[in-house]
Structure 1
Amino acid sequence: MSLKNVILSEIECSSEAFITFERFMTLSLYHPLLGYYQKDVPKVGRRGDFFTSTSVHDVYSRVMARVLINEIQSNEYAPVIVDAGSGDGKFISSFLDEVKFLDHQFYEKLRYFVLESSPYHQQLITNRTKRHPVKIYPSLSSIKKVLPKLNGILFSNELLDAFPVRVIEKQQELVEVCVGLDECNCFTEVYIPCTDPAIKNWMLRHELQLSDGQRIEIPLAMGKWLDEIGAWLANGKVVTVDYGYTNEEWKSPERRRGSLRGYRNHQLIENVLQFPGEMDITTHVHIDAIKKIGLSHGMKWVNCMPQGEFLLKEGLLGFLQQTNPSNPFSEGYKQNRAIRWLAESNQFLVMIQEKRQ
């Protein structure tokens, strides 16, 4: 059975003849057999559907290795890193290569844990990190059995934007945008009065106000994850790399229709209902909510900086190579092009939160 038929069947069997956007995204991205992230096909890089900083060049992971080593050593955190949603393992492999090169004694002490739900990505990570002591866990609940409390650093790169979301819109009243079927049995948007107290509590807690005609995503699943992380962290930092907006930025006219979009074959797909299970679906994260949830768990908001500025501050330009103009396809040229791209990658933000015992 195709994923489209799975979703069709669920809608037809529901008493309301629709499902929430959150449920549609959960099935599209995380269905155990047919979901986009669970399939045994490349998602990132030239053969996939999109690029991330971790896929551009290993210079990114080398800079981040220096950053996180320094964070642990200068703050005397436990030598523990939890990498959440790292994908195909390329980042982890080059990151740990760099740690080993920089400080072999620290490398020997370091415990590197990976949170990854996809069996396909788990296998890729295993294959690419055979020479390193990496431990992989499919869920937060499973890693908590080994680490009841986190002392160290949790790092994620473009994880939060992949959490399923609810969608609301302010018309004459506040409505929730759901997914139903049209007369041709194609997926279509369905509008119902927004009565879910979880959505209203989110808006109240995070002081979110909509103007007439405005649509926005409500990341309840992301909020639940952040609450779990905040309660789990005992002493250390959470380093989050992602794209997002503050409450004030959400008010901008160009964001009136929200941020939900798909990526397929490196093309932007505005209709996220079009290819369930065959494309990435992503949203911008709520920066003020990330900050407030962290504060509610005693996590200090240390920094929020555009990624390009952050990497430049942390020594990115030190990786520039001398090159021969006669060979523009050399490894040195490739690395320098990646450095220029990373230096300008200010659409991403590096958010740092800290909790001290």
Structure 2
Amino acid sequence: MSVQGNRELIRSIVERIRNHPLGAISFREFMELCLYDEHHGYYRSDRLKIGKGGDFYTSASVGTVMGGILASYIASQWPRLKAATGGLSLVEFGGGSGRLAAQVMDALQERFDTVYKSASLTMVETSPFHRALQCESLAGHASKVEWMSEEEWLACGKSEGSLVFANELLDAFPVHVLEGGEGGVPLEVYVEWDEEESRFAERLLPLTDTAVAQALAEDGVILERGQRVEISLDAPAWVQRVASRLQLGTMLLIDYGDTASRLYASHRARGTLLAYRRHEATERWYDDIGEQDLTAHVNFTACERAARRGGAGSVELLPQREFLMRCGVLELLQNTYDPNPFSPAAKRNRAVRQLLLDDGFGELFKVMIVCK
């Protein structure tokens, strides 16, 4: 095989393709296998994914500012949420190394002791590798932390006094990839195996998935010929599931993406799908199978619809920069003449500026707040 990546995973995907009646699988199925195959998927592997030694950074990688800001927001929500139970249930989905959750708990303990004493933390995580990293990061708060799968958490029934947060989770759900055909008729991208070249290749087939067609219609998407877009059914479905589970609570979802009208505008001719490996973003998503991240921007319009279907009373979408400002991030800046660029104050000032001034973090990233 000339394609690079995890050999066992490549063989498994090729076998899936060969056994399919079409001799091809949808890109969504291909992406799900690359990321979540139980034995060899990218997110199931024992490799670092976030930070300098990984493939990408998140806002939690930029100092401890984001964790401190989330702690401030949590404290502001505490009077509303704790009234029902006297306690506060924090829940993080897809917590990776546990760095963000640890930052949140550290800041609550340091600055909002009453809230901290009332709080418990559930990490919803199925990867044994990530659970181990989270356990290490959260060792200082071990008595307050438990781990569950999503199925276990959903099975607990309606929840009062919960604040659910997820940082860069929605962009990791697999997506359908569509391309406008003759007259803008939507075609779906399928993945086949080129026996002669020993590589994966694309095939365009008529769109037959009624759920995808309905999502297009709800967003009013009319494709130009050759225009590509990504449609995620899994991310909105997850939002609806979690919102439905809450009785009195808040969801705080942080990710890069936009509204449907902006995300599917005709000038985005090639969509937003990217592969990330060793901090390089490429469109080579058929390389390094199982060893690189695959991601697409989040359609927050679809996620808002899903939240309301799950019973949300209010949904607000903010640029991350505005959310940070609203939560008092400027108060973290310090006037300092310390010549040491590695002093705590200097590091925090740099982190604040990066989160506010870097267009990638400040504008591309959004914060969706769902209240119920």
TM-score tier (shorter) = over 0.9
- Superposed CA offset, 1:294-320 (max 9, x none): 222331344211111211221112222
- Superposed CA offset, 1:235-257 (max 9, x none): 12111111112122134344121
1:234 shift after superposition: 1.2
Q: Which residue of 2 aligns with 1:136?
A: 147
Q: Which residue of 1 aligns with 2:3?
A: none
Q: 8 Å contact 1:158–1:241 — kept in the other structure?
A: yes
Q: Distance in 1 between matches of 2:46 and 2:334?
A: 36
1:1-357 counterparts in 2 under 5 A?
1-74=7-80, 76=83, 78=85, 79-132=88-141, 133-138=144-149, 140-149=150-159, 151-172=161-182, 173-182=185-194, 183-344=196-357, 345-355=362-372
1:223 shift after superposition: 2.4
Matched residue of 1:222: which SS? helix
1:67 shift after superposition: 0.6
Count how many residue pairs are aligned between Structure 1 and Structure 2: 354
Q: Read off the aligned partner of 2:101 and give its amino acid letter.
A: I
Matched residue of 2:364: which SS? coil
* Unmatched runs of 5 consecutive residues or more in structure 1: none
Q: Distance in 2 between matches of 1:126 and 1:29?
A: 23
Using the TM superposition, name which of 61-70 and 253-262 deviates more. Answer: 253-262
Q: Distance in 2 between matches of 1:179 and 1:115?
A: 31
1:144 shift after superposition: 2.4
Q: Distance in 1 between matches of 2:123 and 2:222?
A: 37
Matched residue of 2:140: which SS? coil
Q: 8 Å contact 1:113–1:136 — kept in the other structure?
A: yes
Q: 8 Å contact 2:179–2:226 — kept in the other structure?
A: yes
Q: Distance in 2 between matches of 1:228 and 1:206?
A: 21
- Judging changes above 3 Å, is the alpha-carbon distance between structure 1 residues 274 and 77 closer, same or farther for their aligned structure 2 residues? farther
Q: Distance in 2 between matches of 1:275 and 1:300?
A: 43
Using the TM superposition, name which of 238-247 and 292-301 deviates more. Answer: 292-301
Matched residue of 1:346: which SS? helix
Q: Read off the aligned partner of 1:137 and give its amino acid letter.
A: M
- Superposed CA offset, 1:78-117 (max 9, x none): 5111111111011111211111122323222212111112
Q: Distance in 2 between matches of 1:33 and 1:322?
A: 50
Q: Distance in 2 between matches of 1:70 and 1:225?
A: 26
- Judging changes above 3 Å, is the alpha-carbon distance between structure 1 residues 69 and 282 closer, same or farther for their aligned structure 2 residues? same
Q: Read off the aligned partner of 1:192 and give its amino acid letter.
A: L
- Judging changes above 3 Å, is the alpha-carbon distance between structure 1 residues 2 and 224 closer, same or farther for their aligned structure 2 residues? same
TM-score (norm 1): 0.94
Q: 8 Å contact 2:26–2:190 — kept in the other structure?
A: yes
1:66 shift after superposition: 0.9
- Superposed CA offset, 1:110-140 (max 9, x none): 12111112211111101121221111112x2
Matched residue of 2:33: which SS? helix
Q: 8 Å contact 1:72–1:152 — kept in the other structure?
A: no
1:77 shift after superposition: 6.0
